[in-house]
A and B are shown apart, each in its own frame.
Chain A
Amino acid sequence: MQQKLDRLKESPSQTAGPYVHIGCTPNFTGIHGIYDEDLGTRIINDKTKGERITIRGRVFDGTGTPLRDALIEIWHADANGIYPSPEDKRGEADPNFRGWGRSPGDMETGEFVFETIKPGVAPFKDGRPMAPHVTFWVVARGINIGLQTRMYFSDEKAANEADPILQRIEHKVRIPTLIAEKTGDGEYRFDIRLQGDGETIFFDI
């Protein structure tokens, strides 16, 4: 017999369950005194460079009902397209930019809100520019493995058309599910549909 690859298997995912907020945003659930502040609350501060934007949205199930027990996380580049991560070897990101945000959504409406800056352009693997985008990760009760998607901006039409990821999506009719609608000055709405009509594109990345 040949040698063995001797690799481990990734730990299997399990649903975040109905009480994910106890672990990830305890202050939001009313558990105070353990952490000063819930992680992921602030992505930017007064000194962060870039155009201020607000992203709002809700997550809908296959019946059109908004989820009120989801946890939504986002990750995106700074105004120059650099990620605040040692894995990004292209340069130093804005020291006043966190890049990562987490929202439990509103307890009644399920609406999530992120106050951040519009990301710059980061390169695809072959060097072509990717349109400004925000990576989303959604977990909740009933979601067995976290769902990954991307949000693009409706006011970046030319960049979106040249985006190497959007270009390779076969069913063009689904691309609008990845594009946040500009609803006002610096205001964007990005609703996520888990299933059925207008189902958001999710990625296996």
Chain B
Amino acid sequence: MAGSAKENTTALPTRPDGMEGLVADWSSDQRAFKNVPWGKAMMWIFLLSDTFIFTCFLTSYMTVRMSTVVPWPNTSEVFALTLFGQHIPLILIAIMTFILISSSGTMAMAVKFGYEKNRKICAILLIVTAMFGASFVGMQAFEWTKLIEEGVRPWGNPMGAAQFGSCFFMITGFHGFHVSIGVIFLLIVARKVWKGHLEDMKPGFFTSRRGGYEVVEIMGLYWHFVDLVWVFIFAFFYLW
């Protein structure tokens, strides 16, 4: 047993890849996820469970939309704005999409600069990501205000099927909540990076966990997931 445990830690670089690697990694009593810190594996599993939650929301949206006999409101018109005297359909949602994608880009680069121990750039990129996220939430608040003023409620609206309101507030609300938590999470990680806590492996104030720069990557996984969910919301709720 001692011999095999030793083998597990030292034999990593020569493990088989592909299908053979899949079987070898899952077989025998050893850790299945090689090469990754446990925090990263756990974040992935959390994100998988979050995928199930968002899919349940989007599937119930599909169910009510397919089964209603009242026409669905035209999202292209509902989310149109008049900018500079021009009536542009769905423009606010398009801007929000671009903002979230840009925040994903800065996040991905923050992970890279983190591993390169470039603390300053990493922290700045994390803060830029948080600012993008905060502006996204701000626009969502504007959108909610606009729709509520137009009479959209979870139980009905003047434009068509009553289920539109409940789906809209539930799905975008839950997503916006994820973004808001992400912004807070980003600011905490940015502070840790800025102060050099990840280099000194200083225990965190909340979990007392000592983390290196994989913390930035784990934060990144969460943030990209928020962007990923928006891709599906944009396609199914706003464009469909």
Whether both chains belong to one complex is answered with: no
Q: Which residues from chain B sit less than 8 Å from chain A, CB to CB? A: none
